[in-house]
Amino acid sequence: MAKSLLFPEFKIERDSNRCISCQVCVRQCANDVHTYDQEDDTVTSKEEQCVGCQRCVTLCPTNALQVDTKKTGFRPNASWSIQHLRNLYKQSETGGVLLTGMGCDQPYRIYWDHLLLNASQVTNPSIDPLREPIELKTFLGAKEEMLDIDWNHDFPVVKTKLAPQLELNLPIVFSAMSYGSISYNAFRSFVEAAREVGTYCNSGEGGLHPDFYPYGNNIIVQVASGRFGVHRDYLQVASAVEIKIGQGAKPGIGGHLPGEKVSSDVSRTRKIPEGSDAISPAPHHDIYSIEDLQRLIYAIKESIHYEKPVSVKIAAVHNVAPIASGVIRAGADIVAIDGIRGGTGAAPLVIRDNVGIPIELALAQVDERLRQEGIRHRASLVIAGGIRSSADVIKAIALGADAVYIGTSALVALGCHLCQKCYTGKCNWGIATQDPYLTKRLNPNIGKRHLVNLMRAWAFEIKEMLGGMGVNSIQSLRGNKEHLRAVGLTREEMQILGVKPAGEGW
């Protein structure tokens, strides 16, 4: 093949004093970067094929390898970045839409990093979470406007029939990643961790493998525009059903699952031919209005006998607040909003990086709008898209979220190194692949342990921060923007977030 204009993205440095030619790198690279030369007993590397997943670097027993972004000799140009040039070369050679994986990596402002939390001093006591209980329990679902209570002597008896709820031990849910986009072992790690932690994991739009039906009490199933693997048992086995309208990484278009990842097992679960691309339609073809959405919500509620909440997931777009309001009025018990930094297994690069708005702004606006309309209680808000730490979780709660979805953070706990090549099906970490050589690399026992550890650590940290604020229940922080202050934001941004500048008191 003639030399491509595409220059290597990564530079592979092999320290020959350390390399023992053990060929672990050769065996572990799904992109065939490293080759062993028996004659010379040396390993050489083809940088053109390297995606920077760091698998070889991590497994090299002598730390002989270093994979770095390659410096290019291009004349510096603020307008024509290296990424722009790469994309131009690639498209001129292929004529196709550029695909990518994971969330938007562009340097749009991350508002979490401009929000600071409060703590108690002198006038109100802080709480020590190691000595006093702090409650993280969260219920997702529609709440009653008013409770009708009867008294049985001294005991109150709730007469109102309560709406179905999801009970979470901490306000974190594993976000929608379908079987197909991620491997069986990755999916198993999620469901088992969700069960152990006492939270939920979202099945994504790819149906539910029969092996995971017993975990229904910890699974939210998704009904997306492709309707893959949706049938009665699928809806009834889950704890909640989510209608996916949009996804933060690709608002306005449907899910993509490249045919490379449609293995026989995935094809059976999705009910589509093996090896065929699973491209979900952009809209649901039965939803063209809020009224249509209402019909689908109630069709699903009928099929699950009104026993479980129904969620609607939308992407954070410009008009998100009125849309969320409409969604709630259509009968959704939970509204999930996915911001621009939300991840994906495959999306057009141009859409991922240019469509949608940051979740922080969307969340603040939706919460505010719903309060103004007096319908905030009618649905829980779950937000997604770029939650990187327990601090982001607690800031999201203070901005008005009931819970957060985590996708990328959880994948990183499973070993993901954000190489953004999920769409190729060659994930060297065994996560976003269906290749039996690669899926084995994720041992679900280790995966589950890592996820449980992460949730445990975050729960501790959230309790510490809550205690510092003098709040003993996450419920009391929800939507309490007085606990947040902004640094380095414009007046408009602070107004949209509903947060005062740092330095301003009550």
Tokens of 284: 């649901």
Q: 56 burial class (0-12, 13-18, 19+ CB within 10 angstroms)? A: buried
Tokens of 402: 């009931």
- Nearer to another protein by Cβ, of 209 and 284: the residue is 209
- Nearer to another protein by Cβ, of 193 and 398: the residue is 193
- Region from 14-22, 190-198, 356-364, 487-495 binding another protein, contact rule CB under 8 A: 14-22
- Nearer to another protein by Cβ, of 430 and 479: the residue is 430
Say whether residue 59 binds another protein (CB under 8 A): yes
Q: How far is the CB of 442 from another protein (least distance, A)?
A: 8
- Give bridge partners of residue 135 from the DSSP assignment: 473
Token pair 């975990």 is found at 215
- Nearer to another protein by Cβ, of 24 and 336: the residue is 24
**CB crowding 224-261: b at 16 or more within 10 Å, else e:** bbbbbbbeeebbebbbbbbbbbbbbbbbebbbbbbeeb
CA neighbor of 322 nearest in space, from 378, 389, 373, 271: 373
Contact with another protein (CB under 8 A) among 21, 120, 473, 480: 21
Q: How far is the CB of 22 from another protein (least distance, A)?
A: 5
- Nearer to another protein by Cβ, of 19 and 502: the residue is 19
Site string for another protein, 397-436 (x = CB under 8 A): ---------------------------------x-----x
Q: How far is the CB of 89 from another protein (least distance, A)?
A: 34
Q: Residues touching another protein: how many (CB under 8 A)?
A: 20
Listed in sequence order, the residues at least 6 apart from 164 whose beta carbon sits closer than 8 Å to its beta carbon are 141, 306, 307, 308, 309, 333
Strand 380-384 to 240-244 pairing: unpaired
Q: How far is the CB of 265 from another protein (least distance, A)?
A: 14
- Nearer to another protein by Cβ, of 134 and 438: the residue is 438
Q: How far is the CB of 408 from another protein (least distance, A)?
A: 22
- Nearer to another protein by Cβ, of 233 and 274: the residue is 274
- Output the CA–CA distances (angstroms, integers) from residue 435 to 117, 263, 470, in the order listed: 45, 8, 50
- Output the CA–CA distances (angstroms, integers) from residue 50 to 15, 54, 86, 419, 440, in the order listed: 17, 9, 15, 10, 21
- Region from 59-67, 90-98, 211-219, 354-362 binding another protein, contact rule CB under 8 A: 59-67
Q: How far is the CB of 189 from another protein (least distance, A)?
A: 12
How far from chain centre, in Å, is Cα 491? Answer: 30
Residues 450-479 that bind another protein (CB under 8 A): none
Residues 434-453 that bind another protein (CB under 8 A): 436-437, 440-441, 443, 445-446
Say whether residue 24 binds another protein (CB under 8 A): yes
Q: How far is the CB of 23 from another protein (least distance, A)?
A: 7
For residues 177 and 247, what is the distance between their CA atoms, to the nearest angstrom?
A: 11
- Nearer to another protein by Cβ, of 17 and 79: the residue is 17
- Nearer to another protein by Cβ, of 343 and 430: the residue is 430
Say whether residue 22 binds another protein (CB under 8 A): yes
- Region from 16-24, 81-89, 104-112, 199-207 binding another protein, contact rule CB under 8 A: 16-24
Listed in sequence order, the residues at least 6 apart from 6 whose beta carbon sits closer than 8 Å to its beta carbon are 48, 86, 89, 90, 93
Tokens of 140: 């997702």
- With contact defined as beta carbons under 8 Å apart, do 192 and 220 qualify? no
Helix axes 359-373, 390-399, angle to 10 degrees: 30
Provide the binding-site residues for another protein, judged by CB under 8 A. 17-18, 20-24, 27-28, 59, 61-62, 430, 436-437, 440-441, 443, 445-446
